[in-house]
Amino acid sequence: MPHLARPAPGQARPRRRRPLRRAAWLVVVVATLTLALPGLAFAQGRATVLSPQEPSTLLPHLDLLTLTHEVQHLIFDCLYVVGPDGDYLPQLATEVPTVANGGISEDGSTYTIRLRDDVRWHDGEPLTSEDVRFTWQVITDPDLPVPSRAVWENVVDVETPDDHTAVIRFAETNVNFLGRAASDACFVLPAHLLDGEDLVDHAFNRAPVGTGPFELAEWSAGAFARLTANPTYFGGAPDLDEIVVRFTGGSQATRTALQRGEAELALHIGQADLRFAQGLSGYRIEQGPAHAWWQFWIDNQDPILEDVRVRRALAHGLDRDLITETVMGGVVPPQHAILPASHWAHADDVTRYPYDPEAAAALLDQAGWDQVGSDGVRVRNGQRLEIEILNIAGQVERRQVVQIAQDLWSDLGIMATIREIDGAGFPSAMAAADFQLAYGWFGENQEPTFNLWLGTNWQRFGDEDALDLLRGVSSTVDRDARAEAIRAFQRIVAEEAAMLPLAPRPLLNVASERLDGYAPTLSGSLWNAHQWTLR
């Protein structure tokens, strides 16, 4: 058996003097050295971008996170993007197809796209129309976990008559293609590297090769991604040498980094961060366009909420002004229609429900909830008026609004409780109709697809006539006719109080005064990073 034995303690020879003092000095010296390291001496021409979340993959179309799309814009390009004025700008294409220039067929079912001939992938291979075809195949591949195939799944075929022409065919008129191809589903993939490969666990996920102005040089999980300039970018070599995207994991670290002046741009700060950001010197808050808004989903077939009077009472009981002016930082107005005012198809003349507790109480009385228990909760036929609000856990700006709403509705005699759930569980709870009210945000494309109503319909809205208005939209070429149908639908939803819109959700970025050329659009904040300069 092996055993251990130390020499008996008494055999020690005398030590050098004062080992303790020597050790103490060593500790002091090391500590001073580490603490006194020079602060910030960043490389010239580097912009640091703060992102609250980290992409799971940089292979386009496999990750639905908006922040992933932001970063992907540095590495990849789209056929088109949305420019600062809200117009489409060609990126990989030479021009934006229209009926007038022959790019779109008369019936709106065929799109002919001419590609630039000077585009090269980071590995030197030229971009071809085969890449566009391959991208469509990836997005619609049933064996790939692609979160969103909208519009692309209606494509019948992508033809490649020559290297720089792609013809996209739909079975019928489709007006949503341009909007989709300029939004999150726009990045073109390299067929020569990925065709025939298994993409789910392909190394490309973490070592992407694109056509964009920057190339991924280093990705330190949980910390940052470093991207270096692509000097041969077809849109002109970037002025910056490097962009470092730092993944902060949340508001707290973002705030600290901004306060210490460690970043040129902070992406997607929360409305709860506005107060803080307004007090920063050397930075400006940029409100980018986004057709997104906060709302309360209502289960229209819930036994209590199927009564339109109860839904209207909830709408009257929600003080939108209070919420937008306080916890939303006063940068957005209240929203009444189900498309925000920034959207071209927004309807301004919908029924509004101003904050009016008395009107709300009267509506509840009419609906039969006219008894009030000793605890102040309304009762109808022995049933208490209890409503549960589903909320995604862990986000301050959601938690604030939900608690205010809960408090306001409690004043009406509604026993509102909050159920919190993680972000991943939220959609499945909603899809299973396991909710009464739910708080969250939703975004629409420039050409709205109305998946919120025609697809998921978590709110179980059953007015088929109203839904038919939307069903015709994607095949209506005339834009005014589309707008009229969409507006009519918004009026019905507001009249029925089938959904409770609260306020727009703007894209809020904090940019350094040193950063020039930064211009967020519907295509995101980083789409033109090659034009950025640092003062």
When asked if residue 206 is in the footprint of another protein (CB under 8 A), the reply is yes
When asked if residue 22 is in the footprint of another protein (CB under 8 A), the reply is no
Give the integer Cα–Cα distance in Å for 90 and 80: 4
Query: Half-sphere exposure (CA, 13 Å, Cβ side) for 253?
Result: 13
- Shortest Å distance, C-beta 469 to another protein: 20
Q: Which stretch binds another protein (CB under 8 A): 187-195, 275-283, 356-364, 459-467?
A: 275-283
- H-state helical runs in 127-187: 129-139, 177-181
When asked if residue 241 is in the footprint of another protein (CB under 8 A), the reply is no
Residue 357: helix, strand or coil by DSSP? helix
* CB contact set of 393 (below 8 Å; sequence gap of 6+): 420, 421, 422, 423
Give the integer Cα–Cα distance in Å for 436 and 124: 55
When asked if residue 29 is in the footprint of another protein (CB under 8 A), the reply is no
Spell out the SS3 assignment of 70-138. Answer: HHHHHHCCECEEECCCCCEEECCECCCCCCCCCCECCCCCEEEEEECCCCECCCCCECCHHHHHHHHHH
> Between residues 99 and 207, which has the closer beta carbon with respect to another protein?
207
**Looking only at residues 56 through 75 of this chain, which bind another protein when binding is defined by CB under 8 A?**
56-57, 59, 62, 64
> Between residues 64 and 372, which has the closer beta carbon with respect to another protein?
64
> Between residues 67 and 119, which has the closer beta carbon with respect to another protein?
67
When asked if residue 252 is in the footprint of another protein (CB under 8 A), the reply is yes
When asked if residue 8 is in the footprint of another protein (CB under 8 A), the reply is yes
The correct pick among 143, 358, 465, 480 for binding another protein (CB under 8 A) is 143
Judge contact between 245 and 71, C-beta under 8 A: yes
Judge contact between 474 and 108, C-beta under 8 A: no
> Between residues 373 and 423, which has the closer beta carbon with respect to another protein?
423
**Looking only at residues 185 through 204 of this chain, which bind another protein when binding is defined by CB under 8 A?**
200-201
- What DSSP line would sit under 465-532, residue for residue? HHHHHHHTGGG---HHHHHHHHHHHHHHHHHHT-EEEEEE--EEEEEETTEES---BTTBSSTTGGG-
- Shortest Å distance, C-beta 219 to another protein: 10
**Looking only at residues 389 through 448 of this chain, which bind another protein when binding is defined by CB under 8 A?**
391, 393-394, 396, 399-400, 402-404, 406-407, 418-429, 431, 442
When asked if residue 149 is in the footprint of another protein (CB under 8 A), the reply is yes
- Shortest Å distance, C-beta 318 to another protein: 13
When asked if residue 33 is in the footprint of another protein (CB under 8 A), the reply is yes
| Angle subtended at Cα 350 by Cα 347 and Cα 355, rounded to the nearest 5 degrees | 125
The correct pick among 193, 253, 292, 341 for binding another protein (CB under 8 A) is 253
When asked if residue 14 is in the footprint of another protein (CB under 8 A), the reply is yes
| Per-residue DSSP letter, 155 | E
Q: Which amino acid is at 84?
A: P
Judge contact between 138 and 199, C-beta under 8 A: yes
Using CB atoms within 10 Å of the CB of residue 423, give its burial: 0 to 12 exposed, 13 to 18 middle, 19+ buried: exposed
Count of residues interacting with another protein (CB under 8 A): 105
- Shortest Å distance, C-beta 273 to another protein: 7
Please report where in the chains the tokens 């709403």 appear, as a residue.
Answer: 405
> Between residues 419 and 491, which has the closer beta carbon with respect to another protein?
419
When asked if residue 34 is in the footprint of another protein (CB under 8 A), the reply is yes
Distance of CA 453 to the CA centre of its chain: 19
When asked if residue 362 is in the footprint of another protein (CB under 8 A), the reply is no
When asked if residue 462 is in the footprint of another protein (CB under 8 A), the reply is no
When asked if residue 260 is in the footprint of another protein (CB under 8 A), the reply is yes
Name the E strands within 321-398: 371-372, 378-380, 383-384, 386-392
Please provide the size of the chain in residues.
Answer: 535
When asked if residue 248 is in the footprint of another protein (CB under 8 A), the reply is yes
Q: Which stretch binds another protein (CB under 8 A): 81-89, 140-148, 302-310, 500-508?
A: 140-148
**Looking only at residues 207 through 226 of this chain, which bind another protein when binding is defined by CB under 8 A?**
218, 220-224, 226
* CA-wise closest residue to 192 among 141, 108, 126: 126
Q: Which amino acid is at 195?
A: D
The correct pick among 209, 305, 323, 511 for binding another protein (CB under 8 A) is 323
Q: Which stretch binds another protein (CB under 8 A): 170-178, 188-196, 449-457, 473-481?
A: 449-457
The correct pick among 167, 193, 257, 377 for binding another protein (CB under 8 A) is 257
When asked if residue 278 is in the footprint of another protein (CB under 8 A), the reply is no
When asked if residue 251 is in the footprint of another protein (CB under 8 A), the reply is yes
**Looking only at residues 481 through 510 of this chain, which bind another protein when binding is defined by CB under 8 A?**
none
| Angle subtended at Cα 187 by Cα 185 and Cα 193, rounded to the nearest 5 degrees | 130
